[in-house]
């Protein structure tokens, strides 16, 4: 199986990238990273023992496209939550550059879907076409919500090679005026693939009181690997071919140490930890797993500080008067096997045991851990999640 990552975003509202400096790209990637870990903290709140997965890049892209039409206090709140408030450059001109030139398999797609009777500010689709390469299509949201939802979902399926089957329902679009969609597809293979003949059954400790049997993939290779005292975790980099994107696994030394790790997470802390990885020969064992997660995020985003965008008092006059965000639906899928990763994400926004702390040259992921997919050049995070209960 190749590594296939899909990110998809949609914004439903009710009632050519500019040349950029590498410093601006880095600053925007940092803003997106801060947003990612802040959102992660809210997503896991009250959900101990559950797998979690989302695409920071997909969500940031979908919300940034919406932010392009925000004005006044609505724009100010969104800017603060997304981390744009301290940036002095045009974030839209830089956004897609955070993934840089693509020397790996990466496809980006953005779509604008409008109700047939919706009157939109002409400059808005022009802006999205210029900076986000987004194409526009009109659909009968009000007169035929079923056909409209089918059309959007068909777009989703096409962009994700049928991995995400549905992102919206007829009820989601029946009262909507407008939808923004973002999709990203990543395909690749491990630079150091696992040998399927070496995979064996092993125990994964979900908690101190519960264990499950998994297919454990094993190999010995020279990889970037380290122990981080601040996070009290072992960290391993699994690069994809092309040496541009990697999966990082952050494994607590305590078998029930995931919650303690998560309390210490921040973009700065994780970035610093990843920078200190060193290449060495290491024996690794990680479970083959699949994960599917769905989230509806308006309440979380409101709690983060952009509550005005979800009320009739919102000012999206750069799109049209009287519209506001009604839903932010995010669906994600990942599958990891010996050859790589297969994954998809979709976002719809409508109008205790402990092992020795020193390194022993091994990395055995037999208990809950954090993982992320990251662009090593810009620091952009494509996916972020935790594995608590592997699904084979």
pLDDT in tens, 310-360: 999 999 999 998 888 887 777 777 777 788 765 666 665 555 333 434 445
Is residue 392 one of the residues assigned to a domain? no
Residue 235 and residue 23: Cα distance in Å, rounded? 27
Q: What is the largest CA-CA distance in the chain?
A: 65
Each residue of 117-131: pLDDT tens digit?
A: 989 999 999 998 888
pTM of the model: 0.87
Q: Do 45 and 81 belong together in one domain?
A: yes
Residue 236 and residue 64: Cα distance in Å, rounded? 31
Considering just the CA atoms, what is the radius of gyration of the chain in Å?
Answer: 21
Is residue 383 one of the residues assigned to a domain? yes
Q: Do 30 and 64 belong together in one domain?
A: yes
Each residue of 239-253: pLDDT tens digit?
A: 988 888 899 999 999
Q: Do 357 and 346 belong together in one domain?
A: no
Q: Do 20 and 135 belong together in one domain?
A: yes
Residues 236 and 212: beta-carbon distance below 8 Å: no
Q: Do 62 and 205 belong together in one domain?
A: no
Each residue of 300-313: pLDDT tens digit?
A: 999 999 999 999 99
Q: Do 308 and 262 belong together in one domain?
A: no
Each residue of 268-298: pLDDT tens digit?
A: 999 999 999 999 999 999 999 888 777 888 8
Nearest to 261 by CA among 349, 388, 350, 136: 388
Q: Do 204 and 96 belong together in one domain?
A: no
Q: 226: helix, coil or strand? A: strand
Is residue 157 one of the residues assigned to a domain? yes
Q: Note down the domain range covering 147.
A: 3-189+291-350
Question: What are the start-end ranges of the E strands in the chain?
Answer: 3-14, 52-54, 105-115, 134-139, 176-188, 200-207, 210-228, 233-239, 245-252, 278-287, 289-296, 324-336, 341-350, 362-364, 369-375, 381-387
Is residue 309 one of the residues assigned to a domain? yes
Is the pLDDT at 67 greater than 90, yes or no? Answer: yes
Is residue 181 one of the residues assigned to a domain? yes
Number of structural domains the chain divides into: 2
Q: Do 125 and 167 belong together in one domain?
A: yes
Residue 26 and residue 21: Cα distance in Å, rounded? 9
Q: Do 95 and 27 belong together in one domain?
A: yes
Nearest to 191 by CA among 125, 252, 244, 250: 244
Average pLDDT, the chain: 85
Residues 32 and 149: beta-carbon distance below 8 Å: no
Q: Do 357 and 268 belong together in one domain?
A: yes
Q: Do 375 and 333 belong together in one domain?
A: no
Is the pLDDT at 208 greater than 50, yes or no? Answer: yes
């Amino acid at each position: 199986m190749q590594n296939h990552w899909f990110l998809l975003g949609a914004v439903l509202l009710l009632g050519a990238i500019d040349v950029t400096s590498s410093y601006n790209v880095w600053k925007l990637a940092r803003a997106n990273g801060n947003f990612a870990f802040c959102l992660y903290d809210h997503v896991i709140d009250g959900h101990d023992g559950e797998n979690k997965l989302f695409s920071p890049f997909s969500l940031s892209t979908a919300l940034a496209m919406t932010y392009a039409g925000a004005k006044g206090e609505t724009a100010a709140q969104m800017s603060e939550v997304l981390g744009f408030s301290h940036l002095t450059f045009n974030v839209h001109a830089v956004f897609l550059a955070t993934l840089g030139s693509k020397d790996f398999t990466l496809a980006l797609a953005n779509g604008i879907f409008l109700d047939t009777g919706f009157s939109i500010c002409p400059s808005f689709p022009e802006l999205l076409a210029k900076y986000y390469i987004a194409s526009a299509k009109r659909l009968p949201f009000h007169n035929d919500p079923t056909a409209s939802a089918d059309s959007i979902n068909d777009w989703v399926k096409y962009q994700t090679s049928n991995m995400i089957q549905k992102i919206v329902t007829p009820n989601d679009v029946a009262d909507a005026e407008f939808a923004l969609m973002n999709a990203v597809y990543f395909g690749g293979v491990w630079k150091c693939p696992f040998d399927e003949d070496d995979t064996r059954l092993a125990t994964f400790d979900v908690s101190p009181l519960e264990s499950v049997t998994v297919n454990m993939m094993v190999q010995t290779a020279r990889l970037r690997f380290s122990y981080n005292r601040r996070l009290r975790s072992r960290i391993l980099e699994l690069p994809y071919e092309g040496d541009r994107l990697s999966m990082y696994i952050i494994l607590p030394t305590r078998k029930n140490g995931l919650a303690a790790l998560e309390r210490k997470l921040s973009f700065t802390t994780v970035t610093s930890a990843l920078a200190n990885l060193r290449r060495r020969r290491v024996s690794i064992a990680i479970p083959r797993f699949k994960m599917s997660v769905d989230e509806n995020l308006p309440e979380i985003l409101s709690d983060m500080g952009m509550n005005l965008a979800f009320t009739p008092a919102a000012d999206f006059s750069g799109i049209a008067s009287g519209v506001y965000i009604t839903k932010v639906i995010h669906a994600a899928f990942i599958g990891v096997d010996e050859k790589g990763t297969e994954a998809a994400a979709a976002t719809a926004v409508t109008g205790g045991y402990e092992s020795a702390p020193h390194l022993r040259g091994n990395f055995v992921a037999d208990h809950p851990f954090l993982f992320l997919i990251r662009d090593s050049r810009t620091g952009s995070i494509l996916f972020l999640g935790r594995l608590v209960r592997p699904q084979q």
